[in-house]
Structures are given as structure tokens and as C-alpha cells.
Amino acid sequence: MKKYLLLLVTVFLFSPLTVRAESDENVTRRRPDRPSQVEIKEIRQDRMDEFKDNMQEGRSNVAENHANRLEKRFAFYYSRLSNIITRFQKRLDILKAEGKDITSASTKLTAVKTMLESAKTKGVESVSVFKAIDPAKFSEQKTQALAARDLANSARKLFIDTHSLLKDALKTLKTIK
């Protein structure tokens, strides 16, 4: 076994190594000419401009999509609450026809209606501010988005307050017998 190993090592050590050499023209054909520094700067500038355009378009889409989602959400809140108010009003009319005192429930219902309308106008205002965000002016965009967000949060809070006031009015309605 040692003999074979020794023979194998000597064959590898003393055997001539083959080196494969290629001509220079073959190597340069595979490697394209390098662009000059001016061309590299122009290419980079074009890529940066394209990237900025894509970013502005993306920012525009984000604000517009957010405005559309808010618009749908606030419209859903308004329609849902107005349907409840309509049913509430019908119930009050039935109780009034029966000769029951509904003054406390009706005053709460009018307060709910006015609060719902103010929530709707605040929601429409916040959606319009979101749609008015200019994607080309990045420095002003953040402050506009924050202002629009604050308006949307205040509109959402008004819808929540309207809902809680409506629940209180319904509790008052249940006490009427």
C-alpha cells in the first residue's frame, strides 16, 4: 500500500503540468470596452432621475389610495349610522302616535343628527386634503400628510362619538313605556 502511494505521489510531482494559454485578442473580445467616466456619470444620473420619477409616482399613488379608502370608510360609517337614525326616528314616530312622551329621546336624536353631519363634513374635508397632496413637492408632502391624518383622525373620532351618543339615545328610548 505504501508503495502505491509513493508511486502515485512521485507521478504527480514529476509529471509535466499543462498550462493553457490564450491569445490577447481572444480575451479582449470577451470583455467589452469600459465606458468613460463621463458616460458612467450620465448613466447614473439617468437612473437616479428614473428612480425619483418612480418614487414620486409611488407617493402620489399612496396618498390617492389612502384618500379613496378613507372616502369609502367614511361613506360606510355615514350610511350605517343614518340608517340606524332613520329606524330610530320611525320608532319615535310610532311612540308619539301612541301618546308617549318622547322629548328626551328626540332631543338626543337631533344632537346625533347634527354630530353625524359634522363628522361627514370633517371626513369629506380630510379626504380632499389627502387628494390635494402634491407628490412633486417632497419637502411639503410630509406636513400635508400629517395635517390630513389629523383631520381623518378627528373625523373618525366624531363618528365614534356619534355612535356612542346614538347608543345613549337608544337607552333613553328603551326607558319610554
Please check whether residue 130 is in contact with residue 62, taking contact to mean a CB–CB distance below 8 angstroms.
Answer: no
- 49-80: pLDDT as tens digits: 888 777 777 666 777 888 899 999 999 999 99
Judged against a pLDDT cut of 60, whether residue 19 lies above it is answered with no
Closest CA to 88 of 156, 169, 9, 159: 169
Residue of 34 and 41 predicted with greater confidence: 41
* Nearest-angstrom CA–CA distance, 55 and 138: 10
Cα pseudo-dihedral 128, 130, 135, 136, rounded to 10: 50
Per-residue pLDDT at 65: 86
| Model pLDDT, residue 150 | 93
Q: Please report, for the chain, how many H helices and E strands are present, in that order.
A: 5, 0
Q: Are 119 and 78 in contact (CB under 8 A)?
A: yes
Q: Closest Cα partner for 105 from 151, 171, 16, 149?
A: 171
pLDDT tens profile 121-177: 999 999 998 888 876 666 677 788 888 899 999 999 999 999 999 999 999 988 886
- pLDDT at 20 > cutoff 70: no
Cell 468613460 belongs to residue:
36
> How high is the pLDDT of residue 160?
95
Q: At what angle do helices 138-175 and 103-131 cross, to 10 degrees?
A: 170
